[in-house]
A = this chain, B = another copy of it.
Amino acid sequence: MHGTNGTGGRLRGRNGLAAAGPINFGPLAYWVGFNLRMAQEAAFQAFSRRSQDIGESPGRFATLTLIARNPGISQTELSQANGRDKSSLTPVVEDLVRRGLIERKRMDSDRRTYRLNVTAAGKKVLTTMTRCARRHERNLDQLIGVRDRKRFLQILKRIAAEIE
C-alpha cells in the first residue's frame, strides 16, 4: 500500500492542515507514462534555456538538422520525420525562409510540393545550434551513464516506433 498513514495517504497536523511533506505519487511513481513526460519536459526546459543563450528556438533545431541532412526534402516528409503535423510546419518554414536560413523551391515535376534546402547562412547557424545541443547531450549523458545509454536510447526508439 505504499506506506499510508491512516489519514488517506498524507500526514496532517492536528488542525487538519495538509503537511508540507513529500507528495505521495501513488501509482504514478512507478508508471512509465508519467515519468516519461516529466523527464521529457525537464530535458526540454533545460535545452530551452541553452537555446536562449544562442538566441534560437529549440523547435527550430530538429527541423534545420533534418533539412540539412536530407536536401530537397518536402514539407510533408519533414513533418513526419519530425513527429509533428504538417500544418505546424508552415509558420516554421516561413520563419526560416524569411531569415534566409533555408530556401524553398517548387518542384518542376510536381508543382504542389516544395523542396527545402539549407542555405550557407543556415549551415552557419546550424553549426552553432549543434554545438549547443552537444553540450546539452553531454549533460544528459552524465545523468544516464555510458553503461546504460545505448540500451536507454534503444528503448526510447522502440516506444516511439512500436506503440500500437
Number of copies: 2
- Do the beta carbons of A31 and B137 come within 8 Å of each other? yes
CA distance A66 to B74 in the complex (A): 44
A163 B148 Cβ-Cβ under 8 A? no
A17 CA to B144 CA, complexed, in Å: 41
B158 touches A18 (CB 8 A): no
With A70-B18, A72-B10, A143-B155: A38-B137 Cβ-Cβ less than 8 Å: no
Residues of A bordering B, CB below 8 Å: 7-10, 12, 15-18, 20, 23-28, 30-47, 62, 65-66, 68-74, 77, 81, 83, 107-109, 115, 130, 133, 136-137, 139-141, 143-144, 148-149, 151-153, 155-164
